[in-house]
């Protein structure tokens, strides 16, 4: 399960890291975080400052081309997952891992867009009165 940390907590951890109060392993154990989280927070702080520590609640879309480039870069063996996530601005490693799973199972990587998909809009449009009649017909006893 994903645990959301406050920017203040992240900053406290980063200050402890900066002051070299203990080893990275001890630091992660003390604050009950993963090395990956620590590494991600360091990168976000270095790149965006304090704003980088605030979790984005906005949904993020990716193009098919970006997904394919990220997966191929990782499969080339030249980059780690961490480096790919940072290079392409991907929200998390798990997102990249889902793309790799799709790619490796020979399924298409598609653009992700917010809102309805085309499959949700197939068929004809109905009027309000037609919808009411459909419900009435559905609820009517069978003769």
Domain ranges of the chain: 7-53, 64-104
Q: What is the pLDDT of residue 114?
A: 58
Q: Compute the CA torsion angle 37, 39, 41, 47 (nearest 10 deg).
A: -150
Entry pTM? 0.50
Q: What is the pLDDT along the chain (143 residues), one digit of tens a residue?
A: 456 788 899 999 999 999 988 899 999 999 999 998 898 888 888 877 888 787 665 567 889 999 999 999 999 999 998 889 888 888 778 889 999 999 999 888 888 865 544 444 556 777 888 777 777 777 777 76
* CB of 102 closer than 8 Å to CB of 91: no
Residue with the two structure tokens 């090395």 = 35
* CB of 67 closer than 8 Å to CB of 99: yes
């Amino acid at each position: 399960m994903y645990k959301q940390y406050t920017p203040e907590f992240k900053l406290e951890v980063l200050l402890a890291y900066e002051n070299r109060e203990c080893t990275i392993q001890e630091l992660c154990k003390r604050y009950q975080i993963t090395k990956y989280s620590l590494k991600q927070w360091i990168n976000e702080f270095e790149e965006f400052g304090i704003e980088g520590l605030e979790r984005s609640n906005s949904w993020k879309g990716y193009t098919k081309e970006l997904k394919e480039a990220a997966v191929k870069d990782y499969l080339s063996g030249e980059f780690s997952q961490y480096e790919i996530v940072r290079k392409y601005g991907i929200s998390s490693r798990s997102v990249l891992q889902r793309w790799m799973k799709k790619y490796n199972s020979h399924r298409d990587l598609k653009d992700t867009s917010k809102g309805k998909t085309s499959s949700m809009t197939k068929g004809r449009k109905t009027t309000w009165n037609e919808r009411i009649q459909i419900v009435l017909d559905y609820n009517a006893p069978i003769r």
